[in-house]
Amino acid sequence: MDLNNFKWTRSPRNFVVTNETVEIITKSQTDLWQNTYYHFQNDNAPVFQMETNEQFFSFVVKTSFDTSHRFDQCGIVMYLDSNNWLKASIEYENENYQHLGSVVTNLGYSDWATTVIDASIKSIWYRLSRREDDYRIECSYDGVNFEQMRVCHMHRGQDTVRFGIYACSPEVSSFKATFSNIDLIECQWAAHNGQLPD
Least confident of 43-47, 78-82, 192-196: 192-196
Domain boundaries, the chain: 3-185
Q: Does domain 3-185 have CATH number 2.40.30.170?
A: no
Report which of residues 198 and 103 the model is more confident about: 103
- For residues 178 and 145, give the distance between their C-alpha atoms in angstroms, rounded to a whole number: 21
Confidence of residue 56 (pLDDT cuts 50, 70, 90): very high
- For residues 148 and 155, give the distance between their C-alpha atoms in angstroms, rounded to a whole number: 21
**pLDDT at residue number 6:** 98
Mean pLDDT confidence for 151-156: 97
Query: What is the maximum alpha-carbon separation in the chain?
Result: 51
* pTM reported for the whole predicted model: 0.95
**pLDDT at residue number 187:** 98
pLDDT tens, 123-151?
Answer: 999 999 999 999 999 999 999 999 999 99
pLDDT exceeds cutoff 80 at 197? no
DSSP string, 92-120: E-SSSEEEEEEEEEETTEE--EEEEEETT
Which residues does 23 contact at the CB level (< 8 Å), separation at least 6?
15, 16, 17, 176, 177, 178, 179
